[in-house]
């Protein structure tokens, strides 16, 4: 998901940050006590590859994850659409995609290229690096592409439960945050966002008091060692603070397809994603969830808190 350091992408790194005061009673609004530990376990990057889809579908079917998000520009979208139509209760959001980060596996925009030229690198693909993308992207063209991704998903039979941003591109400056927030408002969807103390207020100018803001977000980041995978994730569970948190994971099988997709990219690569799958579906992980009285919730649950349109 995140392949480069980028100011603003720290919104989704592997630590927790306090939410704003408007969110203090979110657990109670969901029907739980104020000290309840609610967790969305969220699988990123569906439609990236068949391997990604199969592992993520298996985790969804097992209840090992409670939510997932879809990369609409990617080649395996039709497979996700088939799953969505066969599993109407699946919590599937859109992983709004303005970058294409892999070395030899690329994709372009959903909108016509002549309508979003600022999104394109010299080869005609989306930029590989989020920082470079942000330097070039015109917000009005980003919004055109984001809307095209939402409309494409709907036409394919995917009814998103939420919106978030691949590689954090839409979290990097006020005009791009506004794209995410305004489109989410138009389609009446919750969206991934944290309010971080010290962030300039204009980053949050598009938010409304009725928006649902998570309390904490966690995601594995380098340099986590392969033999520490289980302990890393169980430590997050053991120390999970009260509130509504999200744990972002990347699930795939370490097979020939995924190895080719992620060639020369060990961070969030094929073996990384297999380890995520192995831990999330393990008895040990489930046991710690139960022992620490962590309740899995979904973005669909949060969407019910939004005012009726």
Any idea which residues carry the catalytic annotation?
44, 250
- Residue 136: CB partners within 8 Å, gap ≥ 6? 118, 119, 127
What gap in Å lies between CA 49 and CA 53, rounded to an integer?
6
CB 299 within 8 A of CB 161: yes
Report how far Cα 138 is from the mean position of its chain's Cα atoms: 22
What gap in Å lies between CA 119 and CA 9, rounded to an integer?
19
* Vertex 66: Cα angle to 65 and 67 (nearest 5): 100
As to burial, measured by CB atoms within 10 angstroms (0-12 exposed, 13-18 middle, 19+ buried), residue 188 is exposed
Neighbours of 235 (CB within 10 A): 12
């Amino acid at each position: 998901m995140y392949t480069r350091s980028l100011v603003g992408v720290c919104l989704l790194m592997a630590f927790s940050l306090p939410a704003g005061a408007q969110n203090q009673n979110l657990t109670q609004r969901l029907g739980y006590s104020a000290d309840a530990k609610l967790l969305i376990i969220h699988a990123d990057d569906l439609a990236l590859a068949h391997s990604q889809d199969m592992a993520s579908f298996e985790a969804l079917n097992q209840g090992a994850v409670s939510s997932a998000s879809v990369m609409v520009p990617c080649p395996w979208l039709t497979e996700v659409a088939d799953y969505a139509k066969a599993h109407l209760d699946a919590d599937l959001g859109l992983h709004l995609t303005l970058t294409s980060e892999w070395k030899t596996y690329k994709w372009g925009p959903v909108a016509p290229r002549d309508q979003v030229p600022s999104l394109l690198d010299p080869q005609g693909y989306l930029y590989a690096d989020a920082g470079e993308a942000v330097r070039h992207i015109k917000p009005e063209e980003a919004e055109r592409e984001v809307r095209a991704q939402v409309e494409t998903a709907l036409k394919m039979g995917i009814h998103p439960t939420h919106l978030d941003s691949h590689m954090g591109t839409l979290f990097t400056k006020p005009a791009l945050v506004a794209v995410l927030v305004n489109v989410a408002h138009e389609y009446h969807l919750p969206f991934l966002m944290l309010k971080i103390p010290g962030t300039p207020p204009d980053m949050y100018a598009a938010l409304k008091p009725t928006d649902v803001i998570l309390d904490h977000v966690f995601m594995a980041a380098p340099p986590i060692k392969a033999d520490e995978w289980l302990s890393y994730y169980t430590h997050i569970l053991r120390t999970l603070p009260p509130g509504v948190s999200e744990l972002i994971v990347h699930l795939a099988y370490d097979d020939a397809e995924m190895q080719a997709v992620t060639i020369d990219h060990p961070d969030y690569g094929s073996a990384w994603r297999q380890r995520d799958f192995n831990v999330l579906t393990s008895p040990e992980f489930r046991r710690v969830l139960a022992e620490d009285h962590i309740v899995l919730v979904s973005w669909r649950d949060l969407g019910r808190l939004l005012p009726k349109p």
